[in-house]
Amino acid sequence: MYLHRLELVNFRCYRHLEIDLPKGPILLVGANAQGKTSLLEAAFVLATTRAPYGILDRMLIHWGAGDEVIPFSRVWGKVERTGGPSTIDIVNVRTTATPGDERFTKRLRLDDAPRRAMDVIGTLNVVLFTPRDIDLIHGAPAERRRYLDVLLCQIDRNYVRALGQYNHVVVQRNHLLRRLRDRGGDRTELAVWDEPLVTHGARILSRRAAAARQLDALAHQLHIDLVGDDQRLGIAYRSQVVEAGGDAATDPIRSPDDLDAAPGVAADVANAEAEIAQRFRRLLAGRREEEIARGVSLIGPHRDDLELRLDGVDLRPFGSRGQQRTVTLALKLAEAGVMWRTTGERPVLLLDDVLSELDRNRRRRLLAHVSAHEQALITTTDVTAVDHAQLEHATVLDVAAAVVRKREV
Amino acid sequence: MSSALPRPVARLIDAFARLPGIGPKTASRLAFHLLRMPDDHALQLSEALRALKESVVHCQRCYNIAETSPCEVCADPSRDSGTVCVVEEPLDVIALERTGEYKGLYHVLHGAISPVDGIGPTDLRIDELVRRMGVEPIREIILATNPSLEGDATAMFIERALRANGSEVRLTRLARGLPVGGDIEYADEVTLGRAMTGRSEVR
Ligand SMILES: [Zn+2]
């Protein structure tokens, strides 16, 4: 798939932009803070309906939009897929502007018809590479859960729904647990929140465990391709619920062939989901008193982590800077690989300033993978940092002061 | 509000600003609009507000809002008193009445369980429903709370409360033809009518 056209109104540093994007690699060249990254963010918004890495809705709207009667930002895109083109329209409107309490409403359209987020997500698939990805390795577990969530939301709309509902249940349930801790009272109410916690939680857990297995199988070879020597990169989903039954996801060594040999992944996932729900329910019953005493939900996907090992050594505390960089690239390429295997479409790659951090060899190896994709948007401050042999057919766009111009060759 | 305003105007602006969805700007605009209105129109509004608080009561059987207790529905002998439809809000009753599909009675909870908002089962008319079971010839209870997490949790709580009380009444849940996240109030009549005829047994 590829993003064929992009239109922005009041988005980040762009007041107005309309641009046709070709297939193949696209180099966005310009000095810092000129609007290169905003273009990748716009593509990310089209894919997920949200801004990447915790950018606030307020920050998506161009500062000049405050002059308008109703401040808003708009991202519109036309996506070409095997099945034909689709258009995505995401408008973010500021609905109230009481100082300190700004509120925003998103209006989403797919092919001109109003749609819910879960119907829009997945129309465009993207994988975003940024220097911040290093947080995937030494950041908090939430960073690694988000990595899985961004991947799974784009390929499984049931996951989008389950995740939204689950997060909502956790908030409700934590309020109730806190009230029971502080003021005591009738505990029967807890049961009505346990049930949706388990149902939606089991769905999330089964999908995450399956995705971690696929990532594990793919990332190993990708990492070898990038670094050129045979270290074993292992990825495993770590969860109290999934581990409790000795699930296959806890087995650190699996051959890449397992993935292809696995019969009917969908049936597997459904079975796993029912089993996980049972275990989840049992664990919950066993820790009721502790949960009330601490006033917080202690079990479930919101407490899990993704374990990353290189030749058996945990990368989270021990990885070197160089290892962390290549491992994050392998994780991101594996994310793209899982999307491709699941949907049959190669996602659009968004590379934000990652080339400059790599030596010539690794850059060449990364670009070899990138060029297998139908489209990639690559930002760089220095066009000479890119090997021209690999990007001969690349389109070069100069970005300066929120103006984008195609460079004629 | 600014002290440059005559006190009655400022008071009205404050009163409007306390309403949901109304910010200070809208509140001022409404207040000044009323100020310019013909006297009799403005007085009609004030009379409507007074009547709202003085003449609207809760029906002591179904807890819907009404001018009398029992309400018109509860007092209507042609309604099937063996069926009770449990809803969150009075507006849900209006939506269901509009379908013309339903001939039973109602029970209005006045909300749904939501710990975040500090609403627990005791803040709703759930005990009153359990009590009705003991004194009325109820054969079926239709749980028609909203298809949201809170509505589902409330329905499940009621189911458990009734079963714990030894009740073997037939319990049904409205079929999920409703839009996701949509309240009953917003469902169109056809969808709602279908949901009512296609309701399913709870367990
Ligand atoms: Zn009544």
In a domain, A306, yes or no: yes
Q: CB–CB of B24 and A191 under 8 A?
A: no
In tens, the pLDDT along B86-107 reads 999 999 999 999 988 899 999 9
How many distinct structural domains can be found in chain B? 2
Q: B114 to chain A: which residues are within 8 Å by CB?
A: 172
Q: State the pLDDT at residue A278.
A: 95
User: Taking residues A381-387, what's their average pLDDT?
Assistant: 75
In a domain, B79, yes or no: yes
Share of chain A above pLDDT 90, in %: 67
Which of A294-298, B19-23, B183-187 has the highest mean predicted lDDT (pLDDT)? A294-298
Least confident among A67-76, A94-103, A260-269, B72-81: A260-269
More confident residue, B193 or A124: A124
Spatial CA neighbour of B41 closest among B52, B33, B50: B33
d(CA B177, CA B26): 37
CATH number at residue A139: 1.20.1050.90
CA distances from A305 to A149, A209, A269, A333 (A): 12, 11, 19, 20
Q: State the pLDDT at residue B188.
A: 65
In tens, the pLDDT along A177-204 reads 999 999 988 888 999 999 999 999 999 9
Least confident among A65-69, A300-304, B74-78: A65-69
Q: Tally Cβ neighbours within 10 Å of residue A353.
A: 18
Residues B50 and B81 in one domain: no
More confident residue, A68 or A373: A373
| A292 within 8 A of A181, measured Cβ to Cβ | yes
In a domain, A147, yes or no: yes
Residues B79 and B50 in one domain: no
pLDDT at A244 over 70: no
Q: Distance, CA B112 to ligand 1 centroid (Å)?
A: 19
Q: State the pLDDT at residue A99.
A: 63
Q: Distance, CA B85 to ligand 1 centroid (Å)?
A: 12
Residues B88 and B186 in one domain: yes
Residues B112 and B149 in one domain: yes
In a domain, A228, yes or no: yes
Residues B121 and B163 in one domain: yes
In a domain, A178, yes or no: yes
Q: State the pLDDT at residue A266.
A: 57
User: Taking residues B164-189, what's their average pLDDT?
Assistant: 68
| Torsion, CA A250, CA A256, CA A258, CA A259, rounded to 10 | 90
Confidence of residue A382 (pLDDT cuts 50, 70, 90): confident
User: Taking residues A31-37, what's their average pLDDT?
Assistant: 92
In a domain, A140, yes or no: yes
Confidence of residue A251 (pLDDT cuts 50, 70, 90): very low
d(CA A329, CA A134): 9
Q: State the pLDDT at residue B178.
A: 46
Q: Distance, CA B138 to ligand 1 centroid (Å)?
A: 15
Confidence of residue A293 (pLDDT cuts 50, 70, 90): very high
Six-digit token string for A295: 């006033």
Q: State the pLDDT at residue A267.
A: 62
Confidence of residue A310 (pLDDT cuts 50, 70, 90): very high
The nearest CA of chain B is from the CA of A10 a distance in Å of 25
Q: State the pLDDT at residue A212.
A: 96
pLDDT at A259 over 50: no
Q: State the pLDDT at residue A100.
A: 64
d(CA A306, CA A141): 7
pTM over 0.90: no
Q: State the pLDDT at residue A257.
A: 43
| Torsion, CA A21, CA A27, CA A30, CA A33, rounded to 10 | 70
Q: What is the enclosing helix (H) or strand (E) of A267?
A: helix A265-286
pLDDT at B66 over 60: yes
| Residue numbers of the domain that contains A151 | 134-341
* Torsional class of A84: left (φ above 0), alpha (ψ -120 to 50), beta (otherwise): left
In a domain, B62, yes or no: no
Q: Is A3 helix (H, G, I), strand (E, B) or coil?
A: strand
| Residue numbers of the domain that contains B170 | 75-201
pLDDT at B181 over 60: no
Q: State the pLDDT at residue B3.
A: 63
| Best B156, B159, B163, B180 residue to mutate vs chain A (most A CBs within 10 Å) | B156
In a domain, B64, yes or no: no
Minimum Cα–Cα distance from A164: chain B residue: B149
Q: State the pLDDT at residue B185.
A: 56
Minimum Cα–Cα distance from A188: chain B residue: B157
d(CA A233, CA A331): 10
The nearest CA of chain B is from the CA of A174 a distance in Å of 8
In a domain, B33, yes or no: yes
Residues B174 and B131 in one domain: yes
Which of A379-383, B33-37, B76-80, B194-198 has the highest mean predicted lDDT (pLDDT)? B76-80
CA distances from A65 to A14, A45, A46, A70, A73 (A): 10, 19, 20, 8, 8
Q: At a CB cut-off of 8 Å and minimum separation 6, what does A347 contact?
A: A1, A125, A126, A127, A154, A336, A339, A340, A373
User: Taking residues B23-46, what's their average pLDDT?
Assistant: 90
Q: Distance, CA B100 to ligand 1 centroid (Å)?
A: 17
Q: State the pLDDT at residue B177.
A: 47
Residues B22 and B87 in one domain: no
Q: Tally Cβ neighbours within 10 Å of residue B134.
A: 9
Q: State the pLDDT at residue A390.
A: 72
Residues B175 and B107 in one domain: yes
In a domain, A313, yes or no: yes
Q: State the pLDDT at residue B187.
A: 59
Q: State the pLDDT at residue B186.
A: 55
Q: Are strands B170-173 and B140-143 parallel, antiparallel or unpaired?
A: parallel
Q: State the pLDDT at residue A249.
A: 41
Residues B89 and B18 in one domain: no
**Residue B141 backbone phi and psi in degrees, to 5:** -115, 125
pLDDT at A239 over 60: yes
pLDDT at B180 over 50: no
| B107 within 8 A of B87, measured Cβ to Cβ | yes
Q: State the pLDDT at residue A383.
A: 78
Q: At a CB cut-off of 8 Å and minimum separation 6, what does A365 contact?
A: A225, A226, A228
In a domain, B61, yes or no: no
More confident residue, A262 or A327: A327
Residues B177 and B123 in one domain: yes
CA distances from A376 to A117, A124, B178 (A): 24, 13, 41
In a domain, A365, yes or no: no
In a domain, B22, yes or no: yes
Helices (H), A287-320: 288-294, 315-318
User: Taking residues A138-161, what's their average pLDDT?
Assistant: 94
- Comparing CB atoms, the residue among A98, A116, A192 nearest residue B180 is A116
pLDDT at B176 over 90: no
Q: At a CB cut-off of 8 Å and minimum separation 6, what does B75 contact?
A: B68
- Comparing CB atoms, the residue among B23, B121, B152 nearest residue A189 is B121
d(CA B139, CA A162): 35
d(CA B195, CA B151): 16
pLDDT at A260 over 50: no
Strands (E), A50-98: 72-81, 84-98
How many distinct structural domains can be found in chain A? 1
In tens, the pLDDT along A81-136 reads 999 999 999 999 887 766 666 778 889 999 999 999 889 999 999 999 998 898 89
CATH number at residue B51: 1.10.8.420
Least confident among A68-77, A82-91, A151-160, A202-211: A68-77
Share of chain A above pLDDT 70, in %: 90
In a domain, A127, yes or no: no
Confidence of residue B183 (pLDDT cuts 50, 70, 90): low
CATH number at residue B171: 3.40.1360.10
Residues B103 and B51 in one domain: no
Q: CB–CB of B181 and A171 under 8 A?
A: no
Confidence of residue A166 (pLDDT cuts 50, 70, 90): very high
d(CA A272, CA A284): 18
pLDDT at A252 over 50: no
Six-digit token string for A402: 């929120």
User: Taking residues B117-140, what's their average pLDDT?
Assistant: 95
pLDDT at B61 over 90: yes
Least confident among A252-261, A397-406, B27-36, B192-201: A252-261
